[in-house]
C-alpha cells in the first residue's frame, strides 16, 4: 500500500514534515516551480498542488518516491520523456526515487509550458 506524507495544514507544513532525500527533492522541485511562474500553491488531495486557470501540477512525496505530475503532462513529454501517462485528463507524472533528480532548467520549462497550456486551452478539469 502507498504511504503518503502526513496530512498538512499548508504547503510549508507539508514540506516541514518530510525528511532526508524526499525533503531535499521536494525543496528543489518547489523552488523550480516558484521560480518558473506565479502559481497558487495549496494542499489538495493530501499533497502540493499548483493552480493557474485550473490545476497545473502536483508534487507528492511518498515513502519511496516523489511524484512530479502535470495535468497536461502528456503534451509535455517532448520536454521530459520520463513523464508517464496515467490517470484522468492528460495527466503524466515523473517518478523520482532516492538518488534521482530533475534538472532545475527542465523543471522550470515544464512548469512554464504547463501554465501556457492552461492559459491557452483552459482548465484541464473543465472538459
**Coil vs helix vs strand at 118:** helix
Residue 44 to residue 11: CA distance in whole angstroms: 10
Residue 78 to residue 112: CA distance in whole angstroms: 14
**How many C-beta neighbours within 10 Å does residue 7 have?**
11
pLDDT tens profile 29-49? 999 999 999 999 999 999 999
Task: Name the residue range of residue 26's domain.
Answer: 11-121
Residue 4 confidence (pLDDT) above 60: no
Please indicate, yes or no, if residue 3 is contained in any of the structural domains. no
Instruction: For residue 91, give the C-alpha cell.
Output: 495527466
Please indicate, yes or no, if residue 4 is contained in any of the structural domains. no
Please indicate, yes or no, if residue 73 is contained in any of the structural domains. yes
pLDDT tens profile 44-84? 999 999 999 999 999 999 999 999 999 999 999 999 999 99
Please indicate, yes or no, if residue 1 is contained in any of the structural domains. no
Give me the number of domains the chain comprises: 1
**What predicted TM-score, i.e. pTM, was given to this entire model?**
0.92
CATH classification of the domain holding 57: 3.90.1150.200
Please indicate, yes or no, if residue 78 is contained in any of the structural domains. yes
Please enumerate, as own/partner, the contacts of 75-83 that have beta carbons within 8 Å and a separation of 24 or more. Answer: 75/113, 75/117, 76/110, 76/113, 76/114, 79/106, 79/109, 79/110, 79/113, 80/106, 80/110
Amino acid at each position: 500500500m502507498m504511504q503518503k506524507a502526513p496530512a498538512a495544514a499548508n504547503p510549508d507544513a507539508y514540506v516541514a514534515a518530510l525528511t532526508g532525500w524526499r525533503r531535499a527533492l521536494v525543496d528543489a522541485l518547489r523552488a523550480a516551480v516558484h521560480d518558473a511562474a506565479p502559481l497558487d500553491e495549496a494542499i489538495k488531495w493530501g499533497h502540493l498542488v499548483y493552480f493557474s486557470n485550473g490545476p497545473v501540477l502536483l508534487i507528492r512525496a511518498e515513502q519511496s518516491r516523489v511524484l512530479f505530475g502535470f495535468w497536461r503532462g502528456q503534451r509535455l513529454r517532448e520536454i521530459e520523456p520520463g513523464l508517464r501517462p496515467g490517470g484522468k485528463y492528460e495527466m503524466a507524472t515523473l517518478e523520482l526515487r532516492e538518488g534521482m533528480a530533475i534538472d532545475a532548467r527542465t523543471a522550470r520549462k515544464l512548469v512554464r509550458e504547463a501554465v501556457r497550456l492552461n492559459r491557452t486551452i483552459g482548465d484541464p478539469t473543465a472538459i
